[in-house]
Each structure stands twice: as C-alpha cells, then as structure tokens.
Structure 1
Amino acid sequence: MHTLIFSISFSVAVSIFLKLARRGGIRVDQAIAVNYATAVALCLWLLRPPLDTLFQQPPAVWLILGLLGVLLPSVFLIMAAAVRRAGIVRSDTAQRLSLILPILAAFLVFHEAVSGRKAFGVALALCALACLLTRPRAAAAEASQAVDTVTPEDETRGSAARGWPTLLGVWAGYGCIDILFKQMARSGAGFTGSLLLSFALAGLLTGLWLLFRRARWHARSLASGLLLGVLNFGNIYFYIRAHQTFPDNPTLVFAAMNIGVISIGTLAGAGLFRERLSALNMLGIGLALGAIVLLFPR
C-alpha cells in the first residue's frame, strides 16, 4: 500500500508545483523538458539500469515505450489547446473522467475478475469523482491541475463546440497513459531500463518541440524543471511499482490514484490556497475513501 501512498503524494506535489509555477511566471513547457532530463539522471543514479542490455527490449515493449514517449509530452500540448478552446474547468473534468478508460481496461484487457464488492467500489469511485468535480466555477478554475503549458493570455474561455476534439484528446490521452503504464508493469521487461527509455523518449520529443517553436529560454523555468523532475520521477516510479505490487487488482491502482489525487489535492487546495469546498466535495472525499476500502483486496 505504501507504493500507492507515495505515488499519490508525489502526484499532488506535482500539482502544487504547477500551481505555484504558474503564479510565479514559470514557463512550464521548458520546465517539463528539464523534468524529463532530470528523471533520466535520477533513473541512472538511483536505479542503475543495465545499460548493456538497455536496447534489447521485446517488440511489444518497444511499442509501449514509443507510445509513452509520444503521449507523455503530447498530452501537455493537447491540454493547453483544450484550455484555450473549451476552458480550464471543462479540460480538468475531461482529465479526471479519463479514469473510466483504465477501469474498463482492467476488466476487458487485463481480465480482472468482477465481483459484486468490486463493482460497488467502482460505482462508489465514480460517484466520488462526480462530487469532487462539482464546484463553484471560480474554485474549479483555481483548482485545475491542467495548466501545464498555458500562459495567462491563453486562458480565455473558448466555445465548447470548438473545443470538443481537444477535450476528447485529453480524456483519451490520460486514460491511455494509465493503461500503458499498467501494461509496462506486467510486460516482464526490465523495469528500470523501460522507465529510463520512456523518460528519454519523452524528453527528446519535448526538446525537439521547443526547438521547433524557437523557444526563448528562461533560466528560472529551466532551473525549476529540476524540482519537477524529482517529483515526477517519484510519481511514475511508485505508480508502476503499485501496479507490480497489485498485479491482479489494476482497478484498485487506477481508482486509488485518480480518486486519491483529487481528494488530497482538494484538501491541499483548501488548506494552502484557500479554495472553497462545498458539502458535496466533502461527501466526495468520504465516498472516495469508501471506494478504496472496497477495492482493496482482503
């Protein structure tokens, strides 16, 4: 269980970082590029993957790594477009509703056994999600964790009709990333080497994108990427470890991560940033805890 707790904690810390970075004028797209380089360095230093066999991965693993290398940075860009066209609140909701995809995959792709207790836990998790996402508009906009590559001038609310393709991209992108990490955890390939390659590919593509845009480099933004890299490395490392710890219960990991991050993030927003909570939000936190208890294996 400690792997899930650590992963949730690091994920919430990433969200807090992004909120503070945006307020401090950090260019988060540049911080994201350094974040992947930092994650690569941490992987080499702490995990010491076997470099002599690094590229000797099965074709199926290379496919997973290639998809992650593209999706991890691309979802930031899609999220930025969604915020510009459909607004922060709708974009954040689309990201959270992506939980539906990995839960479906747990039963349809990973063949997790369905029981009445587990089905009730999933239903409770979705109810908790609805309660936690129901907020006053101003509070929801402040609480959004999806402002990664957005500058203040990008935040003009657009039309939902124009923005629905990007919202669909956010929903599918985050859901697919969760599924791919689970697939990586069960692939049997070298864990540390796979993690290193996924960070390296994502960092390479992010760097190329910034060069293509002829970005003006910002020293403070680049330096802040070091901290983001530490937090993001911890989040992904423990998330994959959680899937390895509960190989037969992916629903627990998917639901606990998403609902746990939203619940703790909601409390952190209220405590650190004075975001308003309603009685419905507090009910959502209670339902989330109940869902995790139901999904946890006996």
Structure 2
Amino acid sequence: MIYIILSIFCSVTVAILLKLARRYQISIIQAVAVNYLTALILCYLFFKPDLKLINSSAPWTIYIALAILLPTIFLFLAASVKNLGIVKTDIAQRLSLFIPILAAYFIFKEDFNQLKFAGLGIGFIAIILTFIRKSQAQSIPTKWIYPILVFIGFGVIDVLFKQIALYKELPYTSSLFVVFCLSFFVALIIVSVMVYKRETKIQFVNLGCGLILGLFNFGNILFYLKAHKALSSNPSTVFAAMNLGVIVLGTLVGLIAFKETLSKVNYIGILLAICAVILITLSQLNAI
C-alpha cells in the first residue's frame, strides 16, 4: 500500500507544482522539456532498458503519437490548473479512464456488465456537475476547454500506452524510455523555436522547476508500476486506490492550501466521480 500512497502523493504534487508555476512566472514549456529529460535519465537508471531490442519493427507510430501528445497535454494540464484549479483538473484527469474503457467496448469488443455501464453514465454526469458554475449554467465557459482537453488527452494517452503494453516483443520499460526520449526532443524543438522568436528565454528557475517536476512525474510512474507488481493478484485495488486517492487528496489540497471555491453542485459532482470509480472497479472484480 505504501507504493500506492507514494504514487498518489507524486501525482498530486505535479498538479501543485503547475499551480505554483503561475505564481513564480515559470515557463511551463521549458519546465516540461527538462521534466522529460529528468524522467528519461531516471528511466534509464531505474529500469535499465535494453536499447538493443529497439529496432524498426517497434511500434514507432504509437511512440511518435505519444511524443507529440505528452508535452502538449502537459501544457493543457497547466492551463487547466491555472484557470480551474487542482480539484477540477485532477477529476478531469482521473475520469479520463472512461476513454480507454469505451475503446475497449467499441474497438476491442470487450464484454461490458451493468456495473461498468452505470459507472460510465455516472462518470459523465460527474464531469458536468464538477465543472459547472451557477453564473455559467446556461452556457459552456471558454475555460471548460482546458479540462475537456485534459480529459480527452489523458484518455487517448492511456489507450496508446495500453497498446504498447500489449506489444510483447519489446519490454514496456524499453518503450517507456523511447517515449520519454522522443517527448524530450519534441519539447526541445518547441522551446528552441520560442527562444529563436524571442517569445521566451532560458532561465535557471525554469530548469530547476522542470527537474523537480520530472522527479515527481517519474515517481508517479515508478511507484504505480511497483504497486501493480506488489499487488499483482489485485490490480483493481491499485486502480481504485490510485484514482480515488488522487481525487480526494487533490480536492483537500485545492480547498485547504489554495482556497479553491466549489459550489454544492460541484461537491455532488465529486461524490459522483468517486461513485463512478468504485462502480468501475467493482465491475472489473465481477468480470474476474
């Protein structure tokens, strides 16, 4: 259970760092670039991927798609935290699990039970209730676009990572190393273009923030994988504890540390999000 707690802590800390980035005028894209360089180095040190196994037959299309999506979604994640706060952003990220579930049903033709259908339905209601504000009830505010992109982006990323996990010819950790490497390259190109156009300039504070961001981002992945290994016979326990833990801790941090305001409707949305995760977890147990 300690690995799950550490993974939850690292995940929420990433959101906190993105929240603080605005206060200290951190260049998010620079921090994201250094974040992937840090994750790349840590991936090599901890997982020791066999680079000789990486050849032309590897799923490069998926690697490239992830390399573009990961730095991009980090920017949307930062924008969502900045505009709507940690609470709503964490919920959008956690409820993105519905996209791979829908993909499993419509693309991979997996069987669904009533609990999973109920979980999906409640989850979508939870998303709407979590983001809505009384003054904006009659229209969709512009700021909604950020958590919606976080929801879709992380869902698609999850599907792509699952496809990599199904690629048995190459260890998952080796694929992870390649993805981090390509993601750093993409982020570096973006930073280089922005520096060339004088839209930003390299500053030590951005690099330092990126280093810390990379440590916690990689920590989230490392401890999540260790939790699954330690509780290999109970994957649903890891799944539920991780998602529920992030929603609860993220909500507490947002309300207490950053004084984020939520309406009664938002609180109902949070409770429904928790119910949705529980139902989906139970549906997985029921399917075993």
TM-score, length basis structure 1: 0.72
Match of residue 110 from structure 2? 112
**Displacement after TM superposition at 1:257 (Å):** 6.4
1:16 matches 2:1:
no
**Contact 1:121–1:292 (Cα < 8 Å) also in 2:** yes
**Displacement after TM superposition at 1:190 (Å):** 0.7
Task: Give the aligned residue type for 1:273.
Answer: F
**Contact 2:28–2:75 (Cα < 8 Å) also in 1:** no
**Contact 1:118–1:294 (Cα < 8 Å) also in 2:** yes
Q: 1:72 aligns with which of 70, 79, 83?
A: 70
**Contact 2:90–2:250 (Cα < 8 Å) also in 1:** no
1:217 matches 2:197:
no
Match of residue 39 from structure 1? 39
**Contact 1:38–1:226 (Cα < 8 Å) also in 2:** yes
Query: How far apart in 2 are the matches of 1:5 and 1:105?
Result: 29
**Displacement after TM superposition at 1:94 (Å):** 12
Residue deviations 1:222-248, cap 9 Å, x none? Answer: 11111100111133445667889889x
In the superposition, relative to structure 1, how do residues 78 and 274 fare at CA in structure 2: closer, same or farther (>3 Å)? Answer: closer
**Contact 1:34–1:229 (Cα < 8 Å) also in 2:** yes
In the superposition, relative to structure 1, how do residues 38 and 133 fare at CA in structure 2: closer, same or farther (>3 Å)? Answer: same
Q: 1:203 aligns with which of 184, 199, 205?
A: 184
List aligned pairs for 1:76-225, cutoff 5 A. Answer: 76=74, 88-89=83-84, 100-135=98-133, 172-188=152-168, 189-214=170-195, 215-225=200-210
Query: How far apart in 2 are the matches of 1:6 and 1:220?
Result: 26
Query: How far apart in 2 are the matches of 1:271 and 1:199?
Result: 34
Match of residue 288 from structure 1? 273
Percent identical among aligned pairs is 39
Match of residue 270 from structure 1? 255
**Contact 2:130–2:265 (Cα < 8 Å) also in 1:** yes
In the superposition, relative to structure 1, how do residues 28 and 98 fare at CA in structure 2: closer, same or farther (>3 Å)? Answer: same
In the superposition, relative to structure 1, how do residues 136 and 197 fare at CA in structure 2: closer, same or farther (>3 Å)? Answer: farther
TM-score, length basis structure 2: 0.75
**Displacement after TM superposition at 1:295 (Å):** 1.8
Query: How far apart in 1 are the matches of 2:132 and 2:148?
Result: 20
Query: How far apart in 2 are the matches of 1:269 and 1:74?
Result: 24
Query: How far apart in 1 are the matches of 2:3 and 2:120?
Result: 21
**Contact 2:89–2:147 (Cα < 8 Å) also in 1:** no
Unpaired segments of 5 or more residues in structure 1? 139-158
Unpaired segments of 5 or more residues in structure 2? none
Once the two structures are overlaid, the 10-residue window that deviates more, 37-46 or 236-245, is 236-245
**Displacement after TM superposition at 1:50 (Å):** 1.6
